């Protein structure tokens, strides 16, 4: 289930300086599944194509058949293009999966930032203004922690894991 906010709340967060990702991670995951499924469909078509070529070669002979076989299995042939298309679709599916993980991670970062802001506001109210320097220090510490978490999330996602 995607973490979605109403438009007015996203707009309010943007006014406060928090950028809530507008992308829907469920949609990205659905795209990843769809593109990864293309590989199986293409593999089936590739097999049928190959079987047809073998049928032609086994039931016919002569220079025309040999020319046809070499044309259909050559470097720029449809058979190789079909194979490359399947691999390309699989890569696109993996990229969509990584993007979905990144969007979810970024949404988690914004939630963490809001929780830290709420704690800083509560501390400022409780100290009646005496802890302004402490609140500033807490905000800076939180900012560094969040930057570290973002770096770690990006590192994990880029490492595939």
* Structural domains in the chain (count): 1
For residue range 44-97, list pLDDT tens digits in order: 888 888 888 889 888 888 888 888 888 888 777 777 788 888 889 999 999 999
146 inside domain: yes
Q: Which domain holds residue 155?
A: 22-160
**What is the rounded average pLDDT of the residues 14-25?**
86
Which pLDDT score is estimated for 128? 67
Whether the predicted pLDDT of 140 surpasses 60: yes
Average pLDDT over residues 140-148: 82
Q: What pLDDT, on a 0 to 100 scale, did the predictor assign at position 122?
A: 81
Is 16 inside a domain boundary?
A: no
Task: Return d(Cα 29, Cα 34) in angstroms, integer.
Answer: 9
Domain assignment present for 12: no
Is 17 part of any domain?
A: no
Residue 6 located in a structural domain: no
Residue 127 lies in a domain: yes
- Give every CB contact of residue 142 below 8 A, 6+ residues apart in sequence: 113, 116, 120
- Identify the pLDDT of residue 156: 76
- C-beta atoms surrounding 103 within 10 Å: 21
Which runs of consecutive H residues, i.e. helices, occur in the chain? Answer: 7-15, 25-59, 63-73, 78-126, 132-159
Q: Is 27 part of any domain?
A: yes
56 close to 62: Cβ distance less than 8 angstroms = no
Task: Inform me whether the pLDDT recorded for 160 exceeds 70.
Answer: no
pLDDT band at 129 (very low <50, low <70, confident <90, very high): low
Question: Within a domain: residue 123?
Answer: yes
Predicted confidence band at 33 (pLDDT cuts at 50, 70, 90)? very high
């Amino acid at each position: 289930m995607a973490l979605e906010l109403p438009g007015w709340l996203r707009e309010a967060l943007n006014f406060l300086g928090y950028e809530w990702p507008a992308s829907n991670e469920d949609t990205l995951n659905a795209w990843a599944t769809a593109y990864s499924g293309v590989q199986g469909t293409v593999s089936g078509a590739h097999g049928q194509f190959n079987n047809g070529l073998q049928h032609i070669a086994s039931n016919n002979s002569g220079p025309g058949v040999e020319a046809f076989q070499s044309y259909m299995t050559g470097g720029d042939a449809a058979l190789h293009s079909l194979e490359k298309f399947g691999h390309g679709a699989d890569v696109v599916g993996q990229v969509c999966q990584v993007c979905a993980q990144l969007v979810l991670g970024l949404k988690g970062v914004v939630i963490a930032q809001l929780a830290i802001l709420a704690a800083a506001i509560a501390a400022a109210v409780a100290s009646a203004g005496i802890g302004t320097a402490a609140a500033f220090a807490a905000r800076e510490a939180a900012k560094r922690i969040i930057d570290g978490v973002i770096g770690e999330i990006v590192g994990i996602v880029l490492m595939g894991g």
